[in-house]
Chain A
Amino acid sequence: MSLKADLEMSRRGVLVGGTAVAALTTVPAEGQAPRPAPPAAMPVSLEVNGKRQTLELDTRTTLLDALREHLKLTGTKKGCDHGQCGACTVIVNGERINSCLSLAVQHQGDKVTTIEGLGSPDKLHPMQAAFVKHDGYQCGYCTPGQICSAVAVLDEIKRGVPSHVQADVGKRPTASNAEMRERMSGNICRCGAYSNILDAMTEVAGARA
């Protein structure tokens, strides 16, 4: 098969070659540019787990990296950094979001709850305790995101937020097996603890009902 000489390799250089061997070269250097300006930075103030935090951040800093790298709250995990796994789930103003797809500067004044804010080893949140009891985790890396999501999911069901699996979206949802599985689907667990996570959530949902 010959190389697709007509297809350009778009960022790293331009494909200019013939059939068997093609050379890729960069865009001609335009001389040494002066050192660019420092990146934009801004002060950001957040309430994290009940505590006011003020940081001076590069505007590109995600909420996730603000938590992990600046506040050293590493319980919130970076699995993909692109909203494709759910490991970075935190609760902001009462709603769960992917903290990797949010700039910290978007959250000026927001209330953020992370896994560290739900409970501690000596004082587990009921959902954390249920995860331990039902072995709702293995490697532990997706676990903080699963737990934050699980807490928020039960709240969403309570508030009547509809879902894709409801037969009638006009009605109030219930904490059924199918509802919880659908609503938790944004949290990938490659170890495959899904069935146990559902057991943990069912127990907490039952205790609340």
Chain B
Amino acid sequence: MEFTAPAETNLFDNAKVVGKSTLRIDGPLKTTGRAPYAYERHDVAPDAAYGYLVGSAVAKGRLTALDTRDAANAPGVIGIVSTLDHSAPLPTGTGNNTALFGGAEIRHYHQAIACVVAETFEQARAAAALIRPSYARVEGKFDLAAAAPSAPMAKDGSGKPDNKKLGDFDAAFASAPVKIDQRYTTPDESHAMMEPFATTAAWEGDKLTLWTANQMIAWCKSSMATILSIPKENVRAVAPYIGGGFGGKLFVRADAVVAALAARKLKRPVKVAMQRPLMVNNATHRQGTIQRIRIGAGRDGRITALAHENWSSNINGQDGENGTAQTASMYAGPNRLQANYTAQLDLPEGNAMRAPGEAVGHLALEVAIDELAEAVGMDPVELRILNEPATVPGTPEKKFSDRNLVRCLREGAARFGWDKRQAKPGTVRDGRWLVGMGVAAGYRGSPTMKSAARATLENGRVVIETDMTDIGTGSYTIIAQTAAETMGVPLAQVDVRLGDSDDPVSAGSGGQWGAASSTAGTYAVCLALRRAVGQKLGFDGDAATFTDGRVVADNRSWRLADAGNLSVTDEMNFGRFKRDFDIGTYAGHFAEVGVDRYTGEIRIRRMLAVCDAGRILNPLSARSQVIGAMVMAAGSALMEELAVDKRFGFFVNHDLAGYEVPVHADIPHQECVFLDTLDPVISPLKAKGVGELGICGPGSAVANAVYNATGIRIRDYPITLDKHLDRLPQVA
């Protein structure tokens, strides 16, 4: 099915299931521990041996030898796969910036160099410690600030230099009565999902099955075929449950590669879970950024010039963290400059983490806007509304599909009690606490990707099968809701099977595209099933009414089950017309914080997000997506930082004690409100994703609230107490 024009009125505008708050259909399994994750497949691989990874002890250089004799001789050891089994790095799969295994070259700390396989986990772990590598270590580059001045310009999505200009920024900025020119930094961050990278691998002849923690099943399948140099048809990837990903599991990691290699070599299923202390440096992270923002404005607050420049890095000098990603879509202003630079560093691979680019771009831009509001003496909500654009500011040839940011800000201000905020910072006290409020706008693009599914009618039940994943996002439930709505059956009559590469290829989970794309695919295949039912029973499926488990057509009525057993496959393709639109999601984020006037500790008191994302398919799980992203945003604002050791070239705090993410006590009650909007350009369901919108802005609202509380502006994230302690008011 092709989606070739904005949606008109359709069955979802009169929905009974879609759009209603719906308990997750996978809830009973998850809350009772019965949902099996990748390392837990005793059911399908009962004899799996245990693999344990060994990571490089140096950040850059060559492995000159790898003595495996003691390890091989250790009790219970079945075999060892070594990176030196391969004369060169294995090919890279989709999205991998650097090879995951193979060859003697060491490109980053904790790069996988071996995997020891034994009868038990304890034996494998003990033997892994007996592997004795020798290295020739060479110097590397690990310092972004040092590398940034000479960093080359990055390339944008179409391969052109990532340097966009409109009007004459320099002249407009020079002549602006009010100028903001500030530099912000964001640190390297870790996904820190709760389930480690994990894979159980088994071969049957030349066919490989991987039960693996992966967000993008089709990419996983093709990548593993590439890496192992085997036909794609010989790989099956299965991931019905995934313990979080946030981008970290978009692409295959070393666990999958070594498990597959070991299982092939040892002719036995092998399972590997990457040990937590290896995850940060072995796998990917969100790269740190340096961002410079210059804003020129009139005394009335109207922006005339806006420049956003961004410096980040990566191991191969490509695919940096682009903090400018949202800037072209946010504020009006005729004279613009945007530039993005990526330095070559020898730190581990940087790659997508929840709202790559935007999440940290907002941490800079939305603070700069706050600084502008103060400079012109305007309320920051009003300043944003004043600069609300009519057309897409950075790409004027595009139209907004449906944008209600002003409503988000206004409704948020009213709900939050924004009128009680004191504009003068450092003036509100509550006992030992300095109290402040902050606001930020949020923008995140809403892409869609082709998505297919199989729909089967089986004794009156509807079964949807697709390789779509549910990484906690609620895919199971919204797909079931879509099928129930389209087929006119109760939700309980729908079964959804996800995450198997033997099923039709979906959009997968990433970039906030999963919900919109996979439900559109489900809709497409259900329409096909309706037609098949019509054909079987002798009516026009497109003209019939499907409701309450029955079909009414031509003044006749059937039970859906009367059609017997049928199965169809279809997909939703999204047409080129969408390219004329900027399809975004929007939010007004508000936060109130307390800063301990003695210790400088910052504690969040309240958070509110008012979101505009079209139809909300399942308000229950969509709200969870947003508040969960707000938690991660709070972490990035206040505590998350991978500390770089620039001598040894690695992230020092590489476990969950050293890399602090928010805990229960950090998070007060959060509110999330969705506007009742519809976006006909996105899909027939008029629904956009929200999972990344929720991390675009809340951190800036927190940062602005901290400033409002203290009057001290910290522009280097995370905002920790040591950065403002010596400037806080004197205490006795």
* Contacting pair B134 A26 (CB below 8 A): yes
Tell me the nearest residue of chain B to A148, going by C-beta: B33
Contacting residues of chain B (621-637) with chain A, CB-CB under 8 angstroms: 621, 623-625, 627-632
Contacting residues of chain B (616-670) with chain A, CB-CB under 8 angstroms: 620-621, 623-625, 627-632, 646-648, 655-657, 661-665, 667-670
The residue from B24, B35, B243, B669 contacting A135, defined by CB atoms under 8 A apart: B24
* Contacting pair B136 A23 (CB below 8 A): yes
Contacting residues of chain B (67-101) with chain A, CB-CB under 8 angstroms: 67, 69-70, 73-76
- C-beta contact mask, B662-681 vs A, less than 8 Å → 1, else 0? 11110111100000000000
* Contacting pair A77 B661 (CB below 8 A): no
B120: A residues at CB distance < 8 A: 58, 61, 69
Stretch at the interface among A82-90, A91-99, A154-162, A167-175: A82-90
Kindly provide the distance from the CB of A48 to the nearest chain B CB, expressed in whole angstroms. 13
B122: A residues at CB distance < 8 A: 39, 58, 60-61, 65
The residue from B42, B625, B646, B662 contacting A138, defined by CB atoms under 8 A apart: B625
- A137 and B664 in contact (CB under 8 A), knowing A80-B655, A80-B656? no
> In the docked arrangement, what's the CA distance between A115 and B23, Å?
20
- A12 and B57 in contact (CB under 8 A), knowing A132-B27, A141-B195, A193-B628? yes
Contacting residues of chain B (419-461) with chain A, CB-CB under 8 angstroms: none
* Contacting pair B669 A198 (CB below 8 A): yes
* Contacting pair A191 B472 (CB below 8 A): yes
The answer to whether the Cβ of B549 comes within 8 Å of any Cβ in the partner chain is no
A187: B residues at CB distance < 8 A: 663-664
The answer to whether the Cβ of B31 comes within 8 Å of any Cβ in the partner chain is yes
Kindly provide the distance from the CB of B17 to the nearest chain A CB, expressed in whole angstroms. 17
The answer to whether the Cβ of B133 comes within 8 Å of any Cβ in the partner chain is yes
* Contacting pair A124 B28 (CB below 8 A): yes
* Contacting pair A128 B627 (CB below 8 A): no
* Contacting pair A144 B667 (CB below 8 A): no
The residue from B31, B133, B137 contacting A3, defined by CB atoms under 8 A apart: B137
Stretch at the interface among B149-157, B269-277, B539-547: B269-277
> In the docked arrangement, what's the CA distance between A87 and B663, Å?
13
The answer to whether the Cβ of A195 comes within 8 Å of any Cβ in the partner chain is yes
* Contacting pair A25 B664 (CB below 8 A): no
* Contacting pair B32 A79 (CB below 8 A): no
The answer to whether the Cβ of B593 comes within 8 Å of any Cβ in the partner chain is no
Kindly provide the distance from the CB of A17 to the nearest chain B CB, expressed in whole angstroms. 7
- C-beta contact mask, A163-206 vs B, less than 8 Å → 1, else 0? 00100000000000100111011111111111111100000000
- A76 and B33 in contact (CB under 8 A), knowing A23-B136, A84-B656? yes
A75: B residues at CB distance < 8 A: 32-34
Q: How many residues of A contact B (CB 8 A)?
A: 89
A107: B residues at CB distance < 8 A: none
A38: B residues at CB distance < 8 A: 75-76
* Contacting pair B627 A195 (CB below 8 A): yes
A114: B residues at CB distance < 8 A: 33
> In the docked arrangement, what's the CA distance between A209 and B139, Å?
63
Contacting residues of chain A (110-144) with chain B, CB-CB under 8 angstroms: 114-116, 118-122, 124, 128, 131-133, 135, 137-144
B661: A residues at CB distance < 8 A: 188, 190
* Contacting pair B665 A182 (CB below 8 A): yes
- A196 and B627 in contact (CB under 8 A), knowing A60-B122, A190-B244? yes
The residue from A24, A118, A195 contacting B137, defined by CB atoms under 8 A apart: A24
A189: B residues at CB distance < 8 A: 194, 631
* Contacting pair A131 B194 (CB below 8 A): no
* Contacting pair B31 A128 (CB below 8 A): yes
* Contacting pair B656 A192 (CB below 8 A): no
> In the docked arrangement, what's the CA distance between A92 and B482, Å?
43
- C-beta contact mask, B588-632 vs A, less than 8 Å → 1, else 0? 000000000000000000000000000000001101110111111
- C-beta contact mask, A18-57 vs B, less than 8 Å → 1, else 0? 0011111111010011011111000000000000000000
* Contacting pair A138 B132 (CB below 8 A): no
* Contacting pair A35 B75 (CB below 8 A): yes
Kindly provide the distance from the CB of B102 to the nearest chain A CB, expressed in whole angstroms. 20
A26: B residues at CB distance < 8 A: 65, 67, 132-134
A191: B residues at CB distance < 8 A: 194, 244, 472, 624, 628
Chain B CB count within 10 A is highest, among A82, A121, A124, A191, for A191
A198: B residues at CB distance < 8 A: 664, 669
Tell me the nearest residue of chain B to A121, going by C-beta: B28
- A135 and B67 in contact (CB under 8 A), knowing A121-B32, A190-B632? no
> In the docked arrangement, what's the CA distance between A4 and B657, Å?
27
* Contacting pair A120 B32 (CB below 8 A): yes
B194: A residues at CB distance < 8 A: 77, 79, 85, 87, 139, 141-142, 188-191
Tell me the nearest residue of chain B to A87, going by C-beta: B194
The answer to whether the Cβ of A72 comes within 8 Å of any Cβ in the partner chain is yes
* Contacting pair B74 A36 (CB below 8 A): yes
Kindly provide the distance from the CB of B693 to the nearest chain A CB, expressed in whole angstroms. 14
> In the docked arrangement, what's the CA distance between A72 and B44, Å?
12
A118: B residues at CB distance < 8 A: 32
- A1 and B628 in contact (CB under 8 A), knowing A77-B194, A132-B31? no
A124: B residues at CB distance < 8 A: 28, 31-32
A21: B residues at CB distance < 8 A: 61, 136-139
The answer to whether the Cβ of B193 comes within 8 Å of any Cβ in the partner chain is yes
- A65 and B121 in contact (CB under 8 A), knowing A140-B241, A182-B664? yes
* Contacting pair A194 B664 (CB below 8 A): yes
* Contacting pair B655 A84 (CB below 8 A): yes
The answer to whether the Cβ of A208 comes within 8 Å of any Cβ in the partner chain is no
> In the docked arrangement, what's the CA distance between A141 and B627, Å?
18
Kindly provide the distance from the CB of A27 to the nearest chain B CB, expressed in whole angstroms. 8
- A79 and B620 in contact (CB under 8 A), knowing A61-B122, A184-B664? no
> In the docked arrangement, what's the CA distance between A125 and B509, Å?
31
Contacting residues of chain B (272-320) with chain A, CB-CB under 8 angstroms: 273, 275-277
The answer to whether the Cβ of A9 comes within 8 Å of any Cβ in the partner chain is yes
* Contacting pair A77 B631 (CB below 8 A): no
The residue from A74, A121, A165 contacting B42, defined by CB atoms under 8 A apart: A74
11 residue pairs from A and B, CB less than 8 Å apart: A9-B58, A27-B132, A39-B123, A39-B126, A73-B33, A139-B245, A184-B664, A186-B663, A190-B194, A191-B472, A193-B624
Closest 3 CB pairs of A and B: A75-B33, A141-B243, A192-B631
Apart from A11-B57, A32-B69, A190-B194, 15 more pairs, CB < 8 Å: A13-B57, A13-B134, A23-B135, A32-B73, A39-B122, A79-B194, A79-B196, A80-B196, A137-B472, A138-B624, A139-B241, A189-B631, A192-B628, A192-B629, A197-B664
